Amino acid sequence: MHSVSPTRTLLSSTLLILGIFLIAANLRAPITGIGPVLDQMIESFHLSASQAGMLTTLPLLAFALASPLATALAKRQGLEISLFIALLLIALGLGSRFIDSRLMLYIGTAIIGIGIAIGNVLLPSLIKRDFPHRVAVMTSGYVLAMGIFSGSYSALIIPLSAYQDIGWQVALVCFGVITVFSIIVWLPQLKNHSKPTKDLTQKTSKGKIWHHALSWHITLCLGLNSFFTYIILAWLPNILMETGHNPAQAGVLHGVFQLATAIPGIILIPLLAKLKDQRLLALALAFLGFTSSLGLLYFAEYALVWSIGLGFCSGSLFILGLSYVSLRTHHSGQAASLSGMAQCVGYSLAAIGPMLAGSLHTFFDSWGAILWLCSLSIFLCGIFGYLGGRDIALDKDV
């Protein structure tokens, strides 16, 4: 890896790269770690299924609300300090889980969501600025870091909570050790106050982008992928436990799902550059996800295979949808406008998913309807991915 700047020493470059990967490590696990211990949380606080689903929904709502805040914060304080604030918020939210209060559980989760939202928005801008010729490599690396840490944490949290009966609250707070270490490693970057890259701060036209069919194909491909992904992130351990897996096994498979979402970053990025269009790839990935979702329902004894399939499908369709934003637009302003549309609709759909799934489980007293819902959303995601994968682009004046 080349130094990011001629003025940086090897040590400072190494600390920056390590800092980026550690920030990425904090951008999923503090939320997805809830999944394996959700039953214990429901029992402790007497939560309904919809209230439990809200624990996954809150960070998504925070992402939508905090994204403009992240940009404004970065303009004022610079990227380095803003990312430091993101880590502090995540640490604060994790620490609040020591407090035995339902209200603080939700407040702490919302604070974590705001911190993650700031990191999600600003980390790509930092990478684009400091690694302009290695964006794909660094992005794949930090997505992989997210998957490894979140997957490992989900796999370990049940044994951790059972260790000397420390319980789910302490087990969830334990991730704060990594967050505190991330804060320490990031401290040397605070002497810099660099602003976000222009693609993050420039004003983009809103007008016709919402009226173009191709914009909706790309938006719904990303949105429906987020919809089913966050249902699985919230409820997969409960689905697995209902089909006969013990909590520890369910936690491990939840971790496997998250690890599998990171693998496509290594495989797909070089492949996408060689394809003329992405239609058949979108359909193939949707078929994999559709089969895996129904496989969980009807052949639960092969849950490891289905968890890997669902994770690979989720990660691949996400990367595919993001690539459409670049491939189907003519300039950065148009891409930013389309990205904003996709983000708005996508995270709105994602926020609905976990609560809707919880309500459907209460109504049907079964996870069958939820897995069919996931299968349907993956099927539709494949259709819109096929339409978005054609070798066409938005009109230049959109």
Q: What is the pLDDT at residue 196?
A: 66
> So what's the pLDDT on residue 16?
92
Q: Are residues 248 and 392 in the same domain?
A: yes
How many whole angstroms separate alpha carbon 233 and alpha carbon 254? 7
**Any domain includes 5:** no
Q: What angle do CA 177, 64, 261 make, to 5 degrees?
A: 55
Task: Output the pLDDT for position 207.
Answer: 57
pLDDT per residue as tens digits for the range 314-357: 999 988 888 888 788 877 667 767 877 887 788 888 889 998 99
Q: Quickly state the pLDDT bin for 105 (edges 50, 70, 90).
A: very high
Query: Can you give the CATH number for the domain in which 31 is found?
Result: 1.20.1250.20
Q: How far is the CA of 128 from the CAs of 59, 136, 139, 342, in angstroms?
A: 25, 10, 9, 21
Residue 372 lies in a domain: yes
Residue 231 sits in the same domain as residue 250: yes
What's the CA gap between 12 and 10, in Å, rounded?
6
Which of 201, 225, 244 is the last residue before a domain boundary?
201
Q: What contacts 63, CB < 8 A, 6 or more positions away?
A: 113, 116, 117, 120, 347
Domain boundary among 166, 201, 236: 201
Instruction: Find the domain containing 345 and state its range.
Output: 202-398
Q: How many residues does the chain have?
A: 398
Return the pLDDT at 252.
93
Q: Structural domain tally of the chain?
A: 2
Q: CB 77: neighbour CB atoms within 10 A?
A: 15
- The answer, yes or no, to whether residue 197 has pLDDT greater than 80, is no
In this structure, the answer to whether residues 359 and 291 fall within a common structural domain is yes
pLDDT digits (tens, 9 = 90+) for 222-257: 999 999 999 999 899 999 999 889 999 999 999 999
Mean pLDDT value across residues 34-58: 87
Distance (Å, rounded) from C-alpha 123 to C-alpha 197?
A: 11
Q: Which of 294, 299, 350, 364 is nearest to 321 (CA)?
A: 350
Alpha carbons 136 and 235: distance in angstroms, whole number: 31
Average pLDDT over residues 188-207: 66
pLDDT digits (tens, 9 = 90+) for 58-76: 888 887 777 778 878 888 8
In the predicted model, is pLDDT for residue 34 greater than 80? Answer: yes
